[in-house]
């Protein structure tokens, strides 16, 4: 971290006092720290504390332009190697997510082109509020980073997620950002995500509970690691990840066509989508009217996209499938690995809490031919994505 310029944005929450510890730790690591405080942050801790620790002027007022030769927020945004917002309140997260710029911190965030790390800290109910989660998803989709808050007793009296991580933990995250390798540079990666919709008529369809979170996390992580990423996605409400080409599709047949078209250009294909195995034999052109007591819809098999990729793949391509299982997870995954000629199957027991459809976490086992199965503990889908990408790089290395 020696010589790195870090812009520390402090917003107004009780955890602002912990930002002083972070500032001090970063200075000890050799970083040059410039601090911007929101007005409410100054109610919790004095600017002089940061000035004394960082030995740089603390900026609180967007109109204070101490040097007539430059515009402060642009100059700061340009000279930083990293911006860290700690603590990031729900308010500053919302402003950043929507591009509001009504103070020095949010204006600088708009002007910077370097990585930005948000460290949210707030009451547990505020943190889990869908609006806050939505705004955090927007930040991530722009390629900004979010450090997960810790769990424990909170200043408000509640116990739960919402604590600002300790300064040493944040320093570790910051070190990792500076160390982040672009180890997928030059690789073309296709990821599928979300569930398919199989039309019954113009207003009805068959689908499943896939939210797209697992596939989006994979696309996001691969792009961050330097890959050229195409994300073929079924219906989802997630915002498109930064630096990723997104191809929306509806049905399994659409996904089949798009994926096979793009296959020859790919080095890696990861099939995290939940593809319907069957579709209505006929999609009615008009809305089906209520008639008798029963309605029978005939279903026909969809093509198995992963299996079709398996028959066409070249020696240089790595093909990864998922297995959503509720029993005999590893045995069934191993059978899929063989049947679909994949290089890796990521098996998840979707009957477990915290795994599979919809959740922010997953519990997976990595199954490869002729290798011991790697069982991973419950992790965020983002961390699972990193582990899968590491495994893919290991497969490529084994082939050399
Ligand atoms: O989207 P989330 O809410 O984050 O949930 C993630 C997830 C549970 C959807 C994901 O982790 C997952 O398990 N995806 C695969 C779900 C699935 O369809 O599993 P399967 O066991 O039925 O299929 C096995 C593999 O074959 C999968 O890679 C699937 O994409 C593929 N497949 C299946 C059927 C088909 N017709 N074509 C396919 O390519």
Give one DSSP letter per residue of 311-362, joined into a string. Answer: HH--TT-EEEEEEEESSSHHHHHHHHHHHTT-SEEEEEETTSTTSSSS-SEE
Q: Which of 397, 311, 325, 304 is nearest to 367 (CA)?
A: 325
Domains of the chain: 5-179 (3.40.50.1950), 188-399 (3.40.50.10300)
Helix (H, G, I), strand (E, B) or coil at 247: strand
Q: Whose CA is nearest to atom 10 of ligand 1?
A: 272
Give the mutation target among 207, 274, 359 for probing the ligand 1 site: most ligand atoms within 8 A of CB.
Answer: 274
Q: Output the CA 180–ligand 1 centroid distance in Å.
A: 29
pTM of the model: 0.79
If you search the block for the tokens 């910051």, which residue do you land on? 174
Measured from the CB, is residue 279 less than 6 Å from ligand 1?
A: no
Residues with Cβ within 8 Å of residue 381, at least 6 apart in sequence: 213, 214, 217, 359, 360, 361, 362
pLDDT level of residue 204 (50, 70, 90 thresholds): very high
Q: What atom in ligand 1 is closest to the CA of residue 212?
A: 1
18 vs 70 pLDDT, higher one: 18
| Pocket flag, ligand 1, residue 322 (CB < 6 Å) | yes
Tell whether ligand 1 has an atom less than 6 A from the beta carbon of residue 342. no
Q: What is the mean pLDDT of residues 152-172?
A: 91
CB atoms within 10 A of CB 91: 17
Q: What pLDDT does residue 29 have? A: 96
Active site residue 156: yes
Per-residue pLDDT band at 125 (split at 50, 70, 90): very high
Q: Is 149 in the pocket of ligand 1 (CB under 6 A)?
A: no
Q: Whose CA is nearest to atom 14 of ligand 1?
A: 272
Question: Is the distance from the beta carbon of residue 274 to the nearest atom of ligand 1 less than 6 Å?
Answer: yes
Tokens standing for 400? 């050399």
Return d(Cα 372, Cα 140) in angstroms, integer: 34
Distances (CA, A) of 15 to 43, 88, 121, 161, 172: 12, 9, 7, 13, 18
Task: Give residue-wise pLDDT tens across range 250-271.
Answer: 999 999 999 999 999 999 999 9
Peptide bond into 87 cis (omega under 30): yes
Q: Which atom of ligand 1 is nearest to the CA of 274?
A: 18
Q: Are 213 and 238 spatial neighbours (Cβ–Cβ below 8 Å)? A: yes
The pLDDT of residue 396 is above 90: yes
306 lines ligand 1 (CB under 6 A): yes
Catalytic residue among 156, 253, 335, 394: 156
Predicted local confidence at residue 68, as pLDDT: 81
pLDDT for res 64: 84
């Amino acid at each position: 971290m020696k010589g790195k310029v870090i812009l520390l944005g402090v917003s107004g929450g009780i955890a602002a006092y912990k930002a002083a510890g972070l500032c001090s730790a970063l200075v000890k690591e050799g970083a040059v720290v410039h601090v911007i405080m929101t007005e409410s942050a100054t109610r919790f801790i004095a600017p002089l504390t940061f000035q004394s620790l960082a030995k740089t002027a603390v900026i609180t007022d967007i109109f204070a332009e101490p040097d007539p030769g430059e515009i402060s927020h642009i100059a700061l945004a340009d000279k930083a190697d990293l911006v860290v917002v700690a603590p990031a309140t729900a308010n500053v997260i919302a402003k950043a997510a929507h591009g509001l710029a009504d103070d020095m911190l949010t204006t600088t965030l708009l002007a910077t082109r370097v990585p930005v790390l948000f460290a949210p800290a707030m009451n547990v109910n505020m943190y889990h509020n869908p609006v806050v989660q939505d705004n955090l998803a927007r930040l991530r989709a722009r390629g900004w980073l979010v450090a997960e808050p810790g769990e424990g007793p909170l200043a408000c009296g509640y116990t739960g997620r919402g604590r600002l991580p300790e300064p040493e933990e944040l320093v570790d995250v910051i070190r990792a950002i500076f160390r982040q390798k672009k180890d997928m540079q030059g690789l073309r990666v296709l990821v599928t995500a979300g569930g398919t919709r199989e039309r019954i008529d113009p207003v009805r369809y068959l689908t499943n509970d896939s939210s797209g979170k697992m596939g989006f996390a994979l696309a996001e992580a691969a792009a961050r690691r330097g890959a050229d990423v195409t994300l073929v996605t079924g219906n989802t409400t997630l915002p498109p990840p930064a630096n990723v080409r997104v191809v929306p599709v509806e049905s399994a047949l659409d996904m089949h066509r798009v994926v096979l078209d793009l296959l020859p250009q790919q080095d890696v294909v990861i099939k995290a989508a939940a593809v319907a195995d069957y579709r209505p034999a006929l999609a009615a052109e008009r809305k089906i009217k209520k008639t008798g007591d029963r309605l029978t819809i005939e279903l026909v098999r969809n093509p198995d996209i992963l299996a079709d990729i398996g028959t066409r793949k070249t020696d240089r391509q790595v093909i990864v499938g998922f297995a959503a299982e509720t029993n005999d997870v590893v045995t069934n995954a191993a059978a899929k690995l063989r049947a679909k000629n994949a290089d890796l199957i990521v098996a998840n027991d979707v009957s477990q809490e915290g795994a599979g459809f919809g959740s922010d976490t997953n519990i997976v086992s990595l199954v490869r031919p002729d290798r011991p199965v790697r069982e991973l503990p419950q992790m965020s889908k983002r961390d699972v994505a990193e582990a899968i990408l590491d495994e893919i790089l290991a497969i490529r290395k084994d082939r050399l």
